[in-house]
Amino acid sequence: MSSNPVPPETTPNILTTTVGSYPVPDWLAALPSEQAVIDATRVIFDSQRQAGIDLPTDGELYRFDVNHPDTNGMIDYFVGKFGGTAKSVGRSDGEAFRAKQEMGFRAKPAAVVLDALTEGSLNLLEDCQRAAAVSGGPFKFTVTSPYMLSRTLLDNHYGDFEKLTMAIADLLADQVRGLPCACLQVDEANIPGNPGDGPLAAASINRVLDAYEGTRAVHFCFGNYGGQTIQSGGWKPLIEFLNALHTDHLVLELAHRPDDDLDALKELDPKIGVGMGVVDIKVNHIESADQIAAAIEKAEKKLGAGRVKYIHPDCGFWMLKRSIADRKIAALAQGRDKFLGR
């Protein structure tokens, strides 16, 4: 026996994580059941951990819908459960929603608000507990931002976009209290194209973040529908908004973005860690470990050593084949290790 014990494994300076969604296993869609969802959640957690992901998610399988297995429920899972809304949308509702032009890529609202919103059947505590039971360690749980949800609704009750947004924020704040996860991530894919709404979006997101005791993250991207970017804009106009967030780190789309977006992040508050997208989820190409390591090196040279706290894909994987997603996260971890010389 060696007289020199093996030193304990240390936590790396840069952690790997996924953004949220993961491809739904074919067998779950083919033969869905409560047990199958639990089994699939276990498989997705284990796949990420075995690939070297430090902070995995449940693949957002808590939102799995047998009637729509090809989506990740980012909108409908929430607004469809709220009390005070109706999912039935008639011609006049659709016309009224399109006249607002707040969600140009939606032809009709996700729901119509008819009364004061209540939690209805939404139960994120139960959802998170189900994931925790099979997570195998610390994990991240994701919820959609109040601002993004409010933009998908036709409001026939509050008569004020700010009141509607903050009503949703209050609902979600009540839902995230006491969740048994290591990190709560709020997802927002609309504000990058609407920086003028920054103060309202920040206030609503902070209402949710402040209710959670643990590591807090906010994910931003420019949308991904069939590999297409939905929102225009860049990170520079959003710096003031990003600095107003009560978050420990950001989870940013950067692999699919121009170089000047990275330059803009030099103005980010040093107290906020940078989560950097280094895997492009809009293409099937598998990044190499060298490419991942080079992207981290480039970011650290521009932002300063130690500024990058997490690396991850640009967004969720729900539109990609599982074989592609599996290889991309393996490359993600290998590239981080290569950069750190592990």
CA distance 37 to 33: 6
Confirm whether 111 is domain-assigned.
Answer: no
pLDDT at position 8 over 80: no
* Cα 292 from chain centre: 20
- Confidence at residue 223, expressed as pLDDT on a 0 to 100 scale: 58
- Confidence at residue 2, expressed as pLDDT on a 0 to 100 scale: 34
Confirm whether 3 is domain-assigned.
Answer: no
153 or 236, which is more confident: 153
Q: What is the pLDDT of residues 31-68, one digit of tens each?
A: 999 999 999 999 999 999 999 999 999 999 999 998 88
Confirm whether 10 is domain-assigned.
Answer: no
160: CATH: 3.20.20.210
CA distance 190 to 103: 9
pLDDT tier for residue 7 given thresholds of 50, 70 and 90: very low
| Residue 234 burial (10 A CB sphere; 0-12, 13-18, 19+) | middle
Confirm whether 170 is domain-assigned.
Answer: yes
The tokens 């490359």 sit on which residue?
331
The residue segments making up the domain with residue 319 are 15-75+117-340
Confirm whether 194 is domain-assigned.
Answer: yes
Q: What is the pLDDT of residues 149-193, one digit of tens each?
A: 999 999 999 999 999 999 999 999 999 999 999 999 999 988 877
What is the average pLDDT score of the chain? 90
Q: What is the pLDDT of residues 25-40, one digit of tens each?
A: 999 999 999 999 999 9
Q: What is the pLDDT of residues 73-117, one digit of tens each?
A: 899 999 999 999 998 888 888 888 888 765 556 778 889 999 999
pLDDT at position 279 over 60: yes
pLDDT tier for residue 339 given thresholds of 50, 70 and 90: very high
- Confidence at residue 232, expressed as pLDDT on a 0 to 100 scale: 56
pLDDT at position 4 over 60: no
- Confidence at residue 317, expressed as pLDDT on a 0 to 100 scale: 92
- Confidence at residue 255, expressed as pLDDT on a 0 to 100 scale: 87
How many domains in the chain? 1
The mean pLDDT of 285-313, rounded to a whole number, is 95
Confirm whether 130 is domain-assigned.
Answer: yes
- Confidence at residue 3, expressed as pLDDT on a 0 to 100 scale: 38
pLDDT above 70: percentage of residues in the chain: 92
Are 201 and 168 within 8 A, CB to CB?
no
Q: Could you give the residue ranges of the DSSP H alpha helices within the chain? A: 26-30, 34-51, 76-79, 91-100, 124-132, 146-151, 161-176, 198-209, 239-243, 259-264, 289-303, 322-340
Question: What is the pTM (predicted TM-score) of this model?
Answer: 0.91
The tokens 């790396």 sit on which residue?
12
Confirm whether 143 is domain-assigned.
Answer: yes
- Confidence at residue 104, expressed as pLDDT on a 0 to 100 scale: 59
CA distance 156 to 10: 54
- Confidence at residue 9, expressed as pLDDT on a 0 to 100 scale: 60
pLDDT tier for residue 236 given thresholds of 50, 70 and 90: confident
- Confidence at residue 309, expressed as pLDDT on a 0 to 100 scale: 97
Helices (H) and strands (E) in the chain, counts: 12, 10
The mean pLDDT of 211-234, rounded to a whole number, is 74
